[in-house]
C-alpha cells in the first residue's frame, strides 16, 4: 500500500501589517513585520517582536493575497517589504512569499540587520535562492565597531559586515540605514570608520541616518523589561547633520534612478 505524503504548507509568523508604508523602500509599500529576533538592541522600539514563533500565522499565499488588496495604490515603484523582528530568521517563508510576488509582477524588498547571515549551509544556499526573487535590501548597520556592536545589540558584527561585502560583490541593490544613538554610535571616530566601510561598497543606492527616538519605551514598561538607554536623549539636529556630513549621505543617489 502506497501512502502519499501531503506536504505541509510553509507558515510565517507575522507580528503586524502596515498597508501604506512610505519609509520602508520605494513608493507605497505593504509592510509585513515578521515575528522573532535574536538581537537585543538597546534602542529597539519593538521588543514585542523578539519572541520567535509568536504572532499570527500566514501561508505565503495568504499574506500575498492580503497585500494584493492594495496593489492599485503602489504605482510604478511601490510593492511589498518584509521587516521585523528579523525576517531572515524565516527565510523559507520569504522565498515562497517573494516567489509568488514576482509571479504577480510585484516589487520585493527586505528590511534586515543581517544577523542570521552565514556562508555555511544550509543558510547560504537558501539566501542565494531568496536573492533571485528580491529586488532591494534595506540593510541596517547597527554599529561599525565589533565591541560597540556587542554592547549595543548583544551580538558581534563580523558576519553582518561580511554580508554587506557579499552583496557588494554581487552588485545587489542596497539602501544602508544607520541609527544615530548618543553615547553609543554618535562618535566621530565610529562615523568616519562607517563612512569608509560604506564607501568601499559598490552597490549602495541610498544611505539614511535614523535619529534615535524613545517612542517604544512604554512597551518595555508594559512588558516588565528594563530599558537600558534610560536618560539618553535623541541626538540634536547639529549632531544629525554632523553624521550626514561625515557619512556623505547626500552622495548616494542611485535610488533616484532605480
The ranges assigned to domains in the chain are: 12-251
Q: Assign 168 a pLDDT band (cuts: 50, 70, 90).
A: very high
Q: Assign 256 a pLDDT band (cuts: 50, 70, 90).
A: confident
Closest CA to 98 of 68, 122, 133, 129: 133
Closest CA to 89 of 108, 121, 112: 112
Q: Which residues of 97-128 are buried (b: 16+ CB within 10 A; e: fewer)?
A: bbbbbeeeebbbbbbbbbbbbeeeeeeeeebe
Say whether pLDDT at 144 is over 80. Answer: yes
Amino acid 5: pLDDT: 56
Q: Which residue has the cell 541596517?
A: 140
3-state secondary structure of 76: coil
Say whether pLDDT at 1 is over 70. Answer: no
pTM of the model: 0.94
Say whether pLDDT at 2 is over 60. Answer: no
Q: What cell does 85 get? A: 523582528
Give the residue-averaged pLDDT of 108-133.
98
Q: Assign 103 a pLDDT band (cuts: 50, 70, 90).
A: very high
Class of domain 12-251: alpha beta
Amino acid 181: pLDDT: 98
Say whether pLDDT at 135 is over 80. Answer: yes
What is the pLDDT of the chain when averaged over all its residues? Answer: 95
CB atoms within 10 A of CB 176: 24
Q: Assign 258 a pLDDT band (cuts: 50, 70, 90).
A: low
Where helices occur in 111-258 by DSSP H, the ranges are 123-131, 146-153, 158-169, 188-199, 217-223, 237-247
Amino acid 4: pLDDT: 54
Give the residue-averaged pLDDT of 127-147.
98
Cα 176 from Cα 179, distance rounded (Å): 10
Give the residue-averaged pLDDT of 226-240.
96
3-state secondary structure of 18: strand
Cα 174 from Cα 256, distance rounded (Å): 13
CA-based torsion, 227, 229, 232, 238: positive or negative = negative
Cα 124 from Cα 83, distance rounded (Å): 20
What's the Cα-to-Cα distance from 61 to each of 16, 53, 101, rounded to whole Å? 17, 19, 9
Question: Can you name the residues that pair with 10 across neighbouring β-strands?
Answer: none
Give the residue-averaged pLDDT of 144-162.
97
Helix, strand, coil distribution of the chain in percent, nearest 5: 40, 20, 45
Give the residue-averaged pLDDT of 14-28.
96
Amino acid 125: pLDDT: 98
Q: Assign 105 a pLDDT band (cuts: 50, 70, 90).
A: very high
Say whether pLDDT at 157 is over 70. Answer: yes
Phi-psi region of 213 (alpha: psi -120 to 50; beta: other; left: phi over 0): beta
Contact 68, 60 (CB under 8 A): no
Per-residue pLDDT tens digits for 59-88:
999 999 999 999 999 998 999 999 999 999
Q: Assign 198 a pLDDT band (cuts: 50, 70, 90).
A: very high
Amino acid at each position: 500500500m502506497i501512502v502519499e505524503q501531503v506536504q505541509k504548507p510553509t507558515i510565517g509568523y507575522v507580528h503586524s501589517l502596515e498597508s501604506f508604508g512610505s519609509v520602508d523602500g520605494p513608493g507605497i509599500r505593504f509592510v509585513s513585520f515578521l515575528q522573532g529576533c535574536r538581537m537585543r538592541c538597546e534602542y529597539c522600539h519593538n521588543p514585542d517582536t523578539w519572541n520567535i514563533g509568536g504572532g499570527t500565522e500566514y501561508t505565503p499565499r495568504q499574506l500575498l493575497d492580503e497585500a494584493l488588496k492594495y496593489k492599485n495604490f503602489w504605482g510604478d515603484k511601490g510593492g511589498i517589504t518584509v521587516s521585523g523582528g528579523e525576517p531572515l530568521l524565516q527565510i523559507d517563508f520569504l522565498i515562497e512569499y517573494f516567489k509568488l510576488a514576482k509571479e504577480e509582477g510585484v516589487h520585493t524588498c527586505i528590511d534586515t540587520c543581517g544577523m542570521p547571515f552565514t556562508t555555511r549551509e544550509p543558510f547560504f544556499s537558501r539566501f542565494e535562492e531568496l536573492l533571485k526573487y528580491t529586488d532591494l535590501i534595506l540593510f541596517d548597520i547597527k554599529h561599525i565597531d565589533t565591541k560597540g556592536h556587542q554592547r549595543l545589540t548583544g551580538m558581534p558584527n563580523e558576519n553582518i559586515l561580511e554580508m554587506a561585502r557579499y552583496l557588494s560583490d554581487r552588485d545587489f541593490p542596497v539602501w544602508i540605514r544607520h541609527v544615530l544613538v548618543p553615547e553609543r554610535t554618535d562618535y566621530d571616530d565610529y562615523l568616519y570608520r562607517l563612512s569608509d566601510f560604506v564607501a568601499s561598497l559598490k552597490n549602495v543606492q541610498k544611505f539614511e541616518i535614523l535619529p534615535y527616538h524613545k517612542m517604544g519605551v512604554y512597551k518595555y514598561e508594559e512588558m516588565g523589561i528594563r530599558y537600558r538607554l534610560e536618560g539618553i536623549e535623541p541626538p540634536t539636529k547639529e549632531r544629525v547633520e554632523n553624521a550626514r556630513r561625515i557619512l556623505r549621505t547626500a552622495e548616494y543617489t542611485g535610488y533616484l534612478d532605480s
